[in-house]
Chain A
């Protein structure tokens, strides 16, 4: 189809140019609702998702050139529905669904902006019967409307690999009967934790981009914070959802000091004046709200640890003991080697590099190919005056990182 068929084009010449950021915002606001609506009426997430992805690519092409139409949600829905009908016509086994789709007139821009209707799709994409790396890719595409090429840039994988991952996951959903549904309250905690973990990885992926820095057209950190907000608002009784949102807001607040002119700045050297005070206030508010729900969990503890940094006016002023206590509690919920590695960094501040290094070495087997394990180890070895070993560890960290800014940071340390 041509996008011009999908909606009245209006006076396109008068529309102002639109930024990539604004386009990303529009796409992410509308995608999940459109995919969800079409999945319900066609009975196939695959058809719904492909049709929507095609519509998004058409929209991005056209809107960049001609500006955004007055009702972008309606435009996308109509284009996606058109693509879905095309797709169903081509496949004989879907013919029965076709009549159903033709008879419906659902326009998502006319429905209330109810966050809940996006959650069934999100829980379906983050189903434990789908492999973890596919949960992330599928969520990015079906829930947020990120293109396969954009996902490939974020996860440092070839586009073909990402494409295959997504189609395999969709086939499994259809063939194995994975429902698009919010789990019942008594089964929700463990399913919600998967959703929150996927959003957290999404936030972290934003910093893994290969190449120099943030030139990508989709800011996954922004997407992750937005999605965490959608979940927290839709499930106001879930303390962990508020916990994750607080955590990501604390991280985001420190972003301006952490990356300056495309270079990473270590915590010790960060200009705390660049931290975003209003985001920190917002994060504290979310964490307080979570605490009042009296259902502790790992995301709230992660957020409480991040709050310790935000509360300190300098590195020396940081309450490391409090952080260590929080890490010990966190280990009760999440005994992962990454948590132990991060705890070792705090242990160094409280008890010195000897016990910290012992703790780092204890998780060697599981983190040997993780760049930050080597970077933390290098720092502790240097504190202990073991320069040669420190350099070897930094060199290994350098080999393992694909991000240019991280490479420059480690390179600078090696050059000293």
Chain B
């Protein structure tokens, strides 16, 4: 099954992460992608900070463009990847080893991808 994993963090809780920790984390994240290469269908993308976001939103008189992310949530999405593994347990096992999870406020959401479009054809 294919799962999109979304890496999220809470900037207000990550302020005191030191530069050394950050560098160390990047190294381990790099290794993480290497170690799990067989299960990663698409390494996805790391996103620029949320301050760079632009949102196009539904408006009564046509789409409206605004500065900022689509939601005011405290958690922000920092990137995503696509896993291809047999089941949710396998996805959970890999995600549990995501190096940034040792930082407070970090969370990874696992969502199955729609791969079978039959359900929309009936």
Interface residues, chain A, CB within 8 Å of chain B? Answer: 92-93, 127, 129, 175-179, 181, 183, 187
Most buried by A among B89, B91, B92: B89
Q: Which of B88, B89, B112, B122 meets A92, CB within 8 Å?
A: B122
A176, B88: Cβ atoms closer than 8 Å: yes
CB of B118 closer than 8 Å to a CB of A: yes
How far, in angstroms, from A179 to B1 measured CA to CA in the complex?
11
Q: Which of B3, B88, B112, B122 meets A179, CB within 8 Å?
A: B88
Most buried by B among A127, A176, A179: A176
A177, B118: Cβ atoms closer than 8 Å: no
Nearest Cβ distance between residue A193 and chain B, in whole angstroms? Answer: 16
B118, A93: Cβ atoms closer than 8 Å: yes
Nearest residue (CB) in B for A127 is B88
Contacts of B51 in A (CB 8 A): none
Interface residues, chain B, CB within 8 Å of chain A? Answer: 1, 3, 86-89, 91-93, 110, 112, 118-119, 122
B89, A183: Cβ atoms closer than 8 Å: yes
* Known A-B contacts A93-B118, A93-B119; A178 and B87 likewise in contact (beta carbons under 8 Å): yes
* Known A-B contacts A92-B122, A93-B119; A177 and B93 likewise in contact (beta carbons under 8 Å): no
B122, A177: Cβ atoms closer than 8 Å: no
Nearest residue (CB) in A for B3 is A177
Nearest residue (CB) in B for A123 is B89
Where chain A touches its partner, the secondary structure class is loop
A177, B112: Cβ atoms closer than 8 Å: yes
* Known A-B contacts A92-B122, A93-B118; A178 and B88 likewise in contact (beta carbons under 8 Å): yes
Contacts of B119 in A (CB 8 A): 93
28 A-B Cβ contacts within 8 A?
A: A92-B122, A93-B118, A93-B119, A93-B122, A127-B88, A129-B88, A129-B92, A175-B112, A176-B88, A176-B110, A176-B112, A177-B1, A177-B3, A177-B86, A177-B87, A177-B88, A177-B91, A177-B112, A178-B87, A178-B88, A178-B89, A179-B86, A179-B87, A179-B88, A179-B89, A181-B89, A183-B89, A187-B93
Contacts of B87 in A (CB 8 A): 177-179
Contacts of A178 in B (CB 8 A): 87-89
How far, in angstroms, from A178 to B3 measured CA to CA in the complex?
12
Nearest residue (CB) in A for B116 is A93
Nearest Cβ distance between residue B7 and chain A, in whole angstroms? Answer: 18
Contacts of A175 in B (CB 8 A): 112
Contacts of B3 in A (CB 8 A): 177
How far, in angstroms, from A177 to B119 measured CA to CA in the complex?
16
Contacts of B89 in A (CB 8 A): 178-179, 181, 183
Contacts of A179 in B (CB 8 A): 86-89
Nearest residue (CB) in B for A128 is B92
The 8 closest A-B pairs by CB, nearest first: A179-B87, A177-B1, A177-B87, A177-B88, A178-B88, A176-B112, A176-B88, A93-B118
Nearest Cβ distance between residue B113 and chain A, in whole angstroms? Answer: 10
Contacts of B92 in A (CB 8 A): 129
How far, in angstroms, from A183 to B96 measured CA to CA in the complex?
15
How far, in angstroms, from A187 to B87 measured CA to CA in the complex?
15
How far, in angstroms, from A183 to B3 measured CA to CA in the complex?
20
How far, in angstroms, from A380 to B118 measured CA to CA in the complex?
63
Nearest Cβ distance between residue B80 and chain A, in whole angstroms? Answer: 17
Starting from the known contacts A177-B1, A178-B88, 8 additional A-B residue pairs (CB-CB under 8 Å) come to A93-B122, A127-B88, A175-B112, A176-B112, A177-B3, A177-B88, A179-B87, A181-B89
How far, in angstroms, from A179 to B85 measured CA to CA in the complex?
12
Nearest Cβ distance between residue A227 and chain B, in whole angstroms? Answer: 22
Contacts of A181 in B (CB 8 A): 89
How far, in angstroms, from A181 to B90 measured CA to CA in the complex?
12
Most buried by B among A92, A127, A176, A177: A177
Contacts of A176 in B (CB 8 A): 88, 110, 112
Contacts of B118 in A (CB 8 A): 93
How far, in angstroms, from A178 to B110 measured CA to CA in the complex?
12
How far, in angstroms, from A37 to B122 measured CA to CA in the complex?
29
Contacts of B91 in A (CB 8 A): 177
How far, in angstroms, from A274 to B76 measured CA to CA in the complex?
60
Contacts of A127 in B (CB 8 A): 88
How far, in angstroms, from A280 to B117 measured CA to CA in the complex?
57
Nearest residue (CB) in A for B112 is A176
Contacts of B112 in A (CB 8 A): 175-177
How far, in angstroms, from A187 to B93 measured CA to CA in the complex?
9
How far, in angstroms, from A93 to B122 measured CA to CA in the complex?
10
